[in-house]
Amino acid sequence: MPLDEFRFSTDVRVRFAETDAQGVAHNAEFLVWYEVGRIDYLARFRGGYKGLQEEGYEALTIESHVRYLAPAYFDDVLRVHLRCSEIKGARFRYDYAIERLSDNVIVADGWTKHAVVDRTTHRPTRFPAWLAEAIASAEC
Q: Which residues contact a copy of itself by CB under 8 A?
A: 15-17, 19-24, 26-29, 31-32, 35-36, 39, 48-50, 58, 60-68, 71, 74-75
Closer to a copy of itself at the Cβ: 4 or 88? 88
State which residue, 54 or 133, has the beta carbon closest to a copy of itself: 54
Q: Which amino acid is at 123?
A: R
Give the three-state DSSP class for 125. Answer: coil
d(CA 114, CA 137): 20
Burial of 125 (0-12, 13-18, 19+ CB in 10 A): middle
Q: Provide the minimum distance between the beta carbon of 108 and a copy of itself in the complex, in angstroms, as a whole number.
A: 10
Kindly tell me which of 75 and 133 has the beta carbon lying closer to a copy of itself.
Answer: 75
